[in-house]
Amino acid sequence: MNIKDFLEVILMLKIIKNGLLYNPEYRGQKDIMLFNDKIVKIADCVNVPDKDFYQAEVIDATDQYIVPGFIDLHVHIAGGGGEGGYKTRTPEIKFSDIIASGVTTLVGLLGTDGVTRSLQNLLTKARALEEEGISTFIWTGCYEYPTRTITKSAREDIMLIDKIIGVGEVAISDHRGSHPVKKDIEGLVLESRVGGMLSGKCGVLHLHVGDDKEGIKDLLDMADTSNILLSNLLPTHMNRNMHLLYQGKNYIKKGGFAFI
């Protein structure tokens, strides 16, 4: 390596001083050294190299929290809304808004509108965000059932498209969805699970739960009577009312998982 290349490399050195570190447990006040955007040292004190030989960016993080990047598994990266007419549609999310919230990994999804917001657009947006510097995945599908896919089935989407890790957000107990019955949900869970098994992915069915009075009754029945693995089911918006929150508590007690 010649001296010019060497100088270009050392300019990538960055030291964060005196931050309150969680990873995720509290580790106390620490210094962190990064080289080429990779953490190479965490210690009580990392000395700044002699500037006659090195150039390093030093960030004073005194009284600031340093935490691992957050994972958000439910983000309408291609925009959402539109339920109040065309003018209520929201725009695509910006990279700057994502990282400002501390998110470094996300899972994008569609919602009510699976017509003007396509899975192809969702996939392209996910790839664009990853090029900007975060990790991205997506759910295939939208509110409606049978849900939309890129290939001819959810299983094929999960198996053949790298960024697709499961199905979502399919709506239950919501007037904006298609009201799939228990048998429909079980079939889609198995479709997701097998696709995940064959591709080494989670194969989760991510369910939007609305305000209808039945809530997650079908999921509670499945927990008691079905051989469906609850680890492949993830209902969301479980804090929208007290009845649903109570159902979610019972669902978790039965071995299920829920997302607020």
How confident is the model over 145-199, as pLDDT tens digits? 999 999 999 999 999 999 999 999 999 999 999 999 999 999 999 999 999 999 9
Quick one: tokens of 221?
Answer: 């029945």
**Cα separation, 107 vs 136, whole angstroms:** 6
**Average confidence (pLDDT) over 45-58:** 73
Asked if pLDDT for residue 129 goes beyond 80, the answer is yes
| pLDDT computed for residue 148 by the predictor | 95
Please name which of 113, 77, 111, 67 lies closest in space to residue 97, comparing C-alpha atoms: 77
Write out the residue limits of the CATH 3.20.20.140 domain(s) in the chain: 70-253
Query: pTM of the prediction?
Result: 0.86
Kindly give the residue spans of alpha helices, DSSP state H, lying in the chain.
Answer: 3-10, 95-100, 119-132, 154-160, 182-199, 217-225, 242-253
**Cα separation, 195 vs 86, whole angstroms:** 35
CB 39 within 8 A of CB 45: no
CATH class of 3-66: mainly beta
Kindly report the backbone phi and psi dihedral angles of residue 221, in degrees, each rounded to the nearest multiple of 5, phi listed first: -65, -40
| CATH number of the structural domain 70-253 | 3.20.20.140
The mean of the pLDDT values for the chain is 92
How many CB atoms lie under 10 A from the CB of residue 248?
24
